[in-house]
Amino acid sequence: MRKKNMFIVLAALFCAVLVTANAPEAKNPKVSITEQLQSILSDNHILVRHRDATARVVFKVNEQGRIEVLEVITKRKDVRLFIDRRLEGRIIAAGNAARGKVFAVDVRITS
């Protein structure tokens, strides 16, 4: 009887270890291109006084996953230089479907 109880306890412990040993899978491990751009551009030191600084960024993701800035449309030169320097050549996690495509993104910089 003792051996039977010991076997049941060990089997239950073994099952519990197997269930908890597997790491839970992430529901959505991919981060969108917009979220990646937001994290790249989030740390800025641009002075915004009355209204937010806005820009329209046209870029392409090349075959290596690097950003190629094609155009930055804004009235402010400092914003244009900031975005161009931050994004040009940055590697982002883009799927194969996004590589080689041209994207246009509106960027707003707040104080």
Strand, coil or helix: 17: helix
Question: What pLDDT was estimated at residue 94?
Answer: 79
Q: What is the DSSP letter of 85?
A: H
Question: What pLDDT was estimated at residue 57?
Answer: 93
pLDDT-derived band at 104, boundaries 50, 70, 90: very high
Q: Which residues pair with 67 in a beta bridge?
A: 61
Tell me if 45 sits within 8 A of 82, measured CB to CB: no
Does residue 26 register a pLDDT over 50? Answer: no
DSSP E strand boundaries for 12-93: 53-61, 67-73
Does residue 16 register a pLDDT over 80? Answer: no
Cα(66)–Cα(70) distance, integer angstroms: 13
Cα(70)–Cα(57) distance, integer angstroms: 8
Does residue 12 register a pLDDT over 60? Answer: yes
Please give the single-letter amino acid code of residue 59.
F
31-43 pLDDT, tens digit per residue, is: 788 888 888 888 8
Region class of 83: left (phi > 0), else alpha (psi between -120 and 50), else beta: alpha
Question: What pLDDT was estimated at residue 1?
Answer: 67
Q: Which residues pair with 59 in a beta bridge?
A: 69, 103
What pTM was estimated for this model as a whole?
Answer: 0.65
66-82 pLDDT, tens digit per residue, is: 999 999 999 989 889 98
pLDDT-derived band at 27, boundaries 50, 70, 90: very low
- The overall longest dimension of the chain from CA atoms, in Å, is 84
